[in-house]
Copies of this chain bind each other. A is one copy, B any other.
Protein backbone atom coordinates (compact mmCIF):
# COMPACT_ATOMS: atom_id res chain seq x y z
CA UNK A 1 0.00 0.00 0.00
CA UNK A 2 1.23 3.48 -0.76
CA UNK A 3 1.83 5.36 2.44
CA UNK A 4 1.19 8.88 1.31
CA UNK A 5 -2.35 8.98 2.55
CA UNK A 6 -1.68 6.95 5.65
CA UNK A 7 -2.24 9.75 8.10
CA UNK A 8 -5.53 10.64 6.56
CA UNK A 9 -6.61 7.00 6.24
CA UNK A 10 -5.82 6.27 9.85
CA UNK A 11 -7.52 9.43 10.93
CA UNK A 12 -10.69 8.48 9.09
CA UNK A 13 -10.55 4.75 10.03
CA UNK A 14 -10.15 5.52 13.68
CA UNK A 15 -12.38 8.57 13.86
CA UNK A 16 -14.37 8.44 16.99
CA UNK A 17 -12.23 5.70 18.45
CA UNK A 18 -10.36 6.31 21.64
CA UNK A 19 -6.91 5.61 20.24
CA UNK A 20 -6.98 7.86 17.17
CA UNK A 21 -4.70 10.46 18.74
CA UNK A 22 -2.47 7.72 20.07
CA UNK A 23 -2.08 6.14 16.61
CA UNK A 24 -1.19 9.45 14.97
CA UNK A 25 1.33 10.24 17.74
CA UNK A 26 2.89 6.86 17.37
CA UNK A 27 3.46 7.28 13.63
CA UNK A 28 4.71 10.85 14.07
CA UNK A 29 7.23 9.65 16.67
CA UNK A 30 8.50 6.92 14.36
CA UNK A 31 8.86 9.41 11.51
CA UNK A 32 10.73 11.91 13.72
CA UNK A 33 13.23 9.23 14.80
CA UNK A 34 13.59 7.90 11.27
CA UNK A 35 14.22 11.41 9.91
CA UNK A 36 17.07 11.87 12.41
CA UNK A 37 18.59 8.44 11.62
CA UNK A 38 18.46 8.94 7.84
CA UNK A 39 19.87 12.46 8.15
CA UNK A 40 22.80 11.35 10.26
CA UNK A 41 23.58 8.00 8.63
CA UNK A 42 21.99 8.13 5.19
CA UNK A 43 19.56 5.65 3.65
CA UNK A 44 22.19 2.93 3.17
CA UNK A 45 23.69 3.39 6.63
CA UNK A 46 20.38 3.20 8.52
CA UNK A 47 18.57 0.03 9.59
CA UNK A 48 15.12 -0.45 11.09
CA UNK A 49 17.06 -1.58 14.20
CA UNK A 50 18.69 1.85 14.43
CA UNK A 51 15.32 3.58 14.29
CA UNK A 52 13.84 1.21 16.88
CA UNK A 53 16.81 1.74 19.22
CA UNK A 54 16.49 5.51 18.95
CA UNK A 55 12.76 5.25 19.53
CA UNK A 56 13.29 2.98 22.55
CA UNK A 57 10.85 0.49 21.01
CA UNK A 58 10.83 -2.89 19.30
CA UNK A 59 11.22 -3.36 15.55
CA UNK A 60 7.71 -4.80 15.65
CA UNK A 61 6.25 -1.41 16.50
CA UNK A 62 7.80 0.03 13.34
CA UNK A 63 6.83 -2.92 11.13
CA UNK A 64 3.29 -2.50 12.38
CA UNK A 65 3.10 0.70 10.29
CA UNK A 66 5.87 0.39 7.70
CA UNK A 67 6.58 -2.61 5.49
CA UNK A 68 10.26 -1.82 4.95
CA UNK A 69 13.05 0.69 5.42
CA UNK A 70 12.25 1.98 1.93
CA UNK A 71 8.63 2.63 2.94
CA UNK A 72 9.77 4.47 6.04
CA UNK A 73 12.29 6.57 4.12
CA UNK A 74 9.73 7.68 1.57
CA UNK A 75 7.12 8.49 4.18
CA UNK A 76 9.68 10.83 5.82
CA UNK A 77 10.34 12.33 2.38
CA UNK A 78 6.59 12.79 1.77
CA UNK A 79 6.16 14.48 5.13
CA UNK A 80 9.09 16.81 4.34
CA UNK A 81 7.54 17.74 0.97
CA UNK A 82 4.13 18.20 2.61
CA UNK A 83 5.61 20.75 5.02
CA UNK A 84 7.31 22.62 2.17
CA UNK A 85 4.13 22.60 0.07
CA UNK A 86 1.95 23.82 2.95
CA UNK A 87 4.34 26.66 3.81
CA UNK A 88 4.75 27.81 0.20
CA UNK A 89 1.04 27.54 -0.61
CA UNK A 90 0.21 29.61 2.42
CA UNK A 91 2.81 32.27 1.46
CA UNK A 92 1.41 32.33 -2.08
CA UNK A 93 -2.09 33.00 -0.84
CA UNK A 94 -1.00 36.22 0.91
CA UNK A 95 -1.33 37.98 -2.44
CA UNK A 96 0.61 40.95 -3.81
CA UNK A 97 2.57 41.37 -7.03
CA UNK A 98 4.36 38.39 -8.56
CA UNK A 99 7.58 39.69 -7.08
CA UNK A 100 6.14 40.10 -3.58
CA UNK A 101 4.61 36.63 -3.69
CA UNK A 102 7.92 35.09 -4.83
CA UNK A 103 9.72 36.82 -1.99
CA UNK A 104 7.27 35.36 0.54
CA UNK A 105 7.39 31.92 -1.09
CA UNK A 106 11.20 31.73 -1.06
CA UNK A 107 11.24 32.97 2.52
CA UNK A 108 8.68 30.32 3.52
CA UNK A 109 10.70 27.64 1.70
CA UNK A 110 13.91 28.70 3.47
CA UNK A 111 12.27 28.90 6.89
CA UNK A 112 10.73 25.45 6.47
CA UNK A 113 14.17 24.05 5.58
CA UNK A 114 15.58 25.65 8.74
CA UNK A 115 12.80 24.51 11.06
CA UNK A 116 12.73 20.93 9.77
CA UNK A 117 16.39 20.15 9.13
CA UNK A 118 16.03 16.37 9.49
CA UNK A 119 12.94 15.98 7.29
CA UNK A 120 14.32 18.32 4.64
CA UNK A 121 17.72 16.59 4.61
CA UNK A 122 15.83 13.38 3.77
CA UNK A 123 13.95 15.21 1.01
CA UNK A 124 17.29 16.22 -0.52
CA UNK A 125 18.63 12.67 -0.09
CA UNK A 126 15.59 11.37 -1.96
CA UNK A 127 16.19 13.80 -4.81
CA UNK A 128 19.76 12.47 -5.06
CA UNK A 129 18.56 8.86 -5.02
CA UNK A 130 16.34 9.67 -7.97
CA UNK A 131 19.46 10.38 -10.01
CA UNK A 132 20.87 6.90 -9.38
CA UNK A 133 20.02 3.96 -11.58
CA UNK A 134 20.85 1.44 -8.85
CA UNK A 135 17.43 1.65 -7.23
CA UNK A 136 14.99 -1.21 -6.75
CA UNK A 137 11.67 -1.26 -8.67
CA UNK A 138 9.89 -0.60 -5.33
CA UNK A 139 12.05 2.49 -4.73
CA UNK A 140 11.55 3.63 -8.31
CA UNK A 141 7.74 3.79 -7.91
CA UNK A 142 8.04 5.97 -4.79
CA UNK A 143 10.76 8.11 -6.36
CA UNK A 144 8.67 8.78 -9.45
CA UNK A 145 5.69 9.74 -7.32
CA UNK A 146 7.87 12.07 -5.26
CA UNK A 147 9.37 13.65 -8.35
CA UNK A 148 5.81 14.48 -9.43
CA UNK A 149 5.28 16.27 -6.14
CA UNK A 150 8.56 18.17 -6.59
CA UNK A 151 7.52 19.10 -10.12
CA UNK A 152 4.24 20.56 -8.82
CA UNK A 153 6.22 22.41 -6.15
CA UNK A 154 8.51 23.91 -8.80
CA UNK A 155 5.50 24.87 -10.90
CA UNK A 156 4.15 27.08 -8.09
CA UNK A 157 7.27 29.22 -8.45
CA UNK A 158 7.20 29.11 -12.26
CA UNK A 159 3.57 30.31 -12.36
CA UNK A 160 4.19 33.07 -9.84
CA UNK A 161 7.25 34.28 -11.73
CA UNK A 162 5.19 34.40 -14.94
CA UNK A 163 2.56 36.41 -13.05
CA UNK A 164 5.34 38.78 -12.04
CA UNK A 165 6.47 39.18 -15.64
CA UNK A 166 2.86 39.90 -16.63
CA UNK A 167 2.35 42.52 -13.89
CA UNK A 168 5.78 44.09 -14.54
CA UNK A 169 7.29 43.29 -11.12
CA UNK A 170 9.71 40.65 -12.50
CA UNK A 171 12.03 41.47 -15.38
CA UNK A 172 10.98 40.11 -18.75
CA UNK A 173 14.37 38.97 -19.97
CA UNK A 174 14.73 36.25 -17.32
CA UNK A 175 14.39 32.62 -18.42
CA UNK A 176 11.69 31.50 -15.97
CA UNK A 177 12.62 27.82 -15.86
CA UNK A 178 16.33 28.54 -15.32
CA UNK A 179 15.60 31.27 -12.77
CA UNK A 180 13.33 29.01 -10.70
CA UNK A 181 15.86 26.16 -10.75
CA UNK A 182 18.49 28.64 -9.55
CA UNK A 183 16.49 30.04 -6.67
CA UNK A 184 15.20 26.65 -5.53
CA UNK A 185 18.78 25.35 -5.68
CA UNK A 186 20.01 28.21 -3.51
CA UNK A 187 17.42 27.31 -0.86
CA UNK A 188 17.69 23.51 -1.17
CA UNK A 189 21.45 23.78 -0.65
CA UNK A 190 20.66 25.01 2.89
CA UNK A 191 20.20 21.30 3.70
CA UNK A 192 23.99 21.04 3.29
CA UNK A 193 25.25 24.02 5.27
CA UNK A 194 22.56 25.27 7.62
CA UNK A 195 22.72 24.23 11.30
CA UNK A 196 20.78 26.24 13.87
CA UNK A 197 23.05 27.91 16.41
CA UNK A 198 22.36 26.65 19.96
CA UNK A 199 20.87 29.98 21.04
CA UNK A 200 19.19 30.90 17.73
CA UNK A 201 15.73 32.44 18.16
CA UNK A 202 12.80 32.04 15.77
CA UNK A 203 13.17 35.76 14.99
CA UNK A 204 16.79 35.26 13.91
CA UNK A 205 15.76 32.32 11.73
CA UNK A 206 13.11 34.50 10.13
CA UNK A 207 15.73 37.18 9.38
CA UNK A 208 18.05 34.64 7.73
CA UNK A 209 15.17 33.25 5.64
CA UNK A 210 14.15 36.75 4.57
CA UNK A 211 17.70 37.67 3.60
CA UNK A 212 18.09 34.46 1.57
CA UNK A 213 14.87 35.35 -0.27
CA UNK A 214 15.87 38.99 -0.84
CA UNK A 215 19.22 37.94 -2.30
CA UNK A 216 17.47 35.65 -4.77
CA UNK A 217 14.94 38.28 -5.78
CA UNK A 218 17.19 41.36 -5.88
CA UNK A 219 20.65 39.85 -6.44
CA UNK A 220 23.82 41.08 -4.80
CA UNK A 221 24.50 44.10 -6.97
Contacts and interface: CB of A to CB of B under 8 A. Distances in A.
A182 B221 contact: no
Kindly report how many copies of this chain are found in the complex they form together. 2
Contact of A185 (B45, B131, B192): B192
Contacts of A131: 39, 121, 192
Interface string A45-77: 110000000000000000000000000000000
B212 A178 contact: yes
A170 interface: yes
Interface in A103-142: 121, 124-125, 127-129, 131-134
A188 interface: yes
A27 interface: no
Contacts of A161: 220
A23 interface: no
